[in-house]
């Protein structure tokens, strides 16, 4: 039987009275991309730090590739790559030197250090910037170099702590491509994120955590089903068309089409997530001769997930905010 890449059982980490982790159970299959989703202060970073041997758990177990992090942290360190929340690159060294440096820590020969660095620069689209000091890199480039550094020793599990936090939207998309490709290559990836969209795009399985505990787990679709998926809002030009509009879009929606009580020329209805339904809705309304003023899709946000799962949003009460 293949051992899971990561297992945690009843993982706890307390700082005095504060419980950063409160009995976290996770299981990540080999070769999968696993998303740990939660707001600031949910315990995501603490969980990553315990799994990567940076923090000792107060109770419970964390096992990487069958090795307990407490029993043999050094063996665990040979199997993991960690990209923390801050791009941990040596700014005054070039991208290439940063990569070679990691090879040196792993006691690679000079030739192997160079070869692996060159390989990773190419994979992460950093060939042209490879001989510039990292100080001159953009945020996205730094993050890419950071991930490349975590991959020098070909880890079997890669931990990415909020890999796109602080990146502009374009760099975020680029980063998603790189992470998706890692998953395709068979590297196990555990990533933490505050963005539902990001977990949705990248992770095969998502665990939602809150106050140091798992509150839901499943694929993105399963989670969205739990919270009701996307919603469409259609506003039309003339009130007399409202019934015709309802009829036209009924079959395209996955639930009841409801007239907004506060704005009678607006219909809302749940739709299947991410399936190109909106153009079909517009076409159907057009065919029915309904003049459309506005169509808007509301995707569930992390706030919605939390509202449904916990009854509170992502804004933590003040005394819990200090947890990370």
CA distance 113 to 110: 5
Residue from the set 10, 59, 78, 110 that interacts with another protein by CB under 8 A: 78
C-alpha distances (whole Å) from 170 to each of 177, 232, 320 are 11, 26, 33
Give φ, ψ of 42 to 5 degrees: -75, -20
Residue 299 touches another protein, criterion: CB under 8 A: no
What's the closest the beta carbon of residue 199 comes to another protein, in angstroms?
21
Q: Candidates 115-123, 224-232, 241-249, 312-320 — which segment interacts with another protein by CB under 8 A?
A: 115-123
Residue from the set 14, 40, 119, 231 that interacts with another protein by CB under 8 A: 119
Q: Could you tell me which residues are beta bridge partners of residue 67?
A: 64
x/- mask, another protein, residues 173-212, rule CB under 8 A, reads: -x--xx--xx--xxxx------------------------
Quickly list H helices, 230-301.
Answer: 242-250, 277-287
CA distance 208 to 44: 10
Residue from the set 27, 125, 204, 217 that interacts with another protein by CB under 8 A: 125
Quickly list H helices, 203-294.
Answer: 220-227, 242-250, 277-287
CA distance 36 to 44: 7
Give φ, ψ of 155 to 5 degrees: -65, 155
Residue from the set 1, 2, 16, 74 that interacts with another protein by CB under 8 A: 74
What's the closest the beta carbon of residue 135 comes to another protein, in angstroms?
9
Residue 71 touches another protein, criterion: CB under 8 A: no
Residue 136 touches another protein, criterion: CB under 8 A: no
CA atoms within 13 A of residue 295's CA, in its CB half-sphere: 19
Residue 110 touches another protein, criterion: CB under 8 A: no
Among candidate residues 227, 280, 287, 292, the one with its CA nearest the CA of residue 252: 280
Compare residues 92 and 250 and give the one whose CB is closer to another protein: 92
- DSSP letters, 50-112, are HHTTSS--SEEEEEETTEETTT-HHHHHTTEEEE-SS----TTSBHHHHHHHHHHHTT--HHH
Structural contact between residues 18 and 69, judged by C-beta atoms closer than 8 angstroms = no
What's the closest the beta carbon of residue 130 comes to another protein, in angstroms?
13
Residue 230 touches another protein, criterion: CB under 8 A: no
x/- mask, another protein, residues 10-49, rule CB under 8 A, reads: ---------------------------------------x
Compare residues 101 and 288 and give the one whose CB is closer to another protein: 101
What's the closest the beta carbon of residue 290 comes to another protein, in angstroms?
42
Compare residues 48 and 290 and give the one whose CB is closer to another protein: 48
What's the closest the beta carbon of residue 123 comes to another protein, in angstroms?
5
Residue from the set 39, 41, 155, 300 that interacts with another protein by CB under 8 A: 155
Structural contact between residues 161 and 44, judged by C-beta atoms closer than 8 angstroms = yes
Binding site for another protein (CB under 8 A): 49, 52-56, 65, 74-75, 77-82, 84-88, 90-93, 97, 101-102, 104-108, 119, 122-125, 133, 149, 151, 153-156, 174, 177-178, 181-182, 185-188
């Amino acid at each position: 039987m293949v051992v899971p890449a990561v297992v945690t059982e009843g993982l706890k980490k307390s700082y005095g009275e504060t419980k950063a982790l409160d009995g976290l159970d996770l299981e990540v299959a080999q070769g999968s991309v696993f998303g740990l989703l939660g707001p600031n202060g949910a315990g995501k970073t603490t969980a990553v730090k315990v799994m990567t041997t940076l923090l000792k758990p107060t109770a419970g177990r964390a096992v990487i590739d069958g090795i307990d992090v407490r029993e043999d942290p050094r063996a665990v360190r040979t199997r993991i790559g960690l990209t923390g929340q801050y791009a941990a690159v040596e700014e005054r060294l070039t991208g290439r030197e940063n990569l070679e440096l990691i090879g040196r820590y792993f006691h690679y020969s000079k030739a192997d250090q160079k070869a692996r660095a060159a390989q990773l620069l190419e994979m992460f689209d950093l060939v042209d910037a490879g001989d510039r000091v990292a100080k001159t890199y953009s945020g996205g480039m730094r993050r890419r170099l950071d991930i490349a550094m975590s991959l020098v020793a070909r880890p079997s599990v890669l931990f990415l702590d909020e890999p796109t936090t602080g990146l502009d939207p374009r760099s975020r998309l680029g980063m998603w491509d790189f992470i998706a490709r890692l998953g395709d290559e068979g590297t196990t990836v555990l990533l933490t994120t505050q963005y539902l969209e990001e977990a949705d795009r990248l992770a095969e399985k998502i665990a939602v955590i809150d106050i140091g505990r798992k509150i839901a787990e499943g694929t993105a679709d399963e989670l969205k089903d739990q919270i009701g998926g996307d919603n469409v809002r259609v506003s039309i030009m003339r009130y007399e068309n409202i019934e015709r509009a309802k009829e036209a879009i009924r079959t395209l929606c996955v639930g009841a089409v409801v007239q907004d009580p506060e704005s009678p020329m607006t219909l809302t209805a749940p739709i299947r997530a991410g399936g190109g339904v909106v153009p079909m809705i517009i076409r159907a309304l057009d065919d029915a001769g309904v003049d459309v003023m506005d169509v808007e899709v509301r995707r569930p946000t992390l706030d919605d997930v939390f509202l449904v799962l916990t009854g509170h949003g992502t804004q933590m009460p003040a005394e819990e905010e200090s947890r990370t």
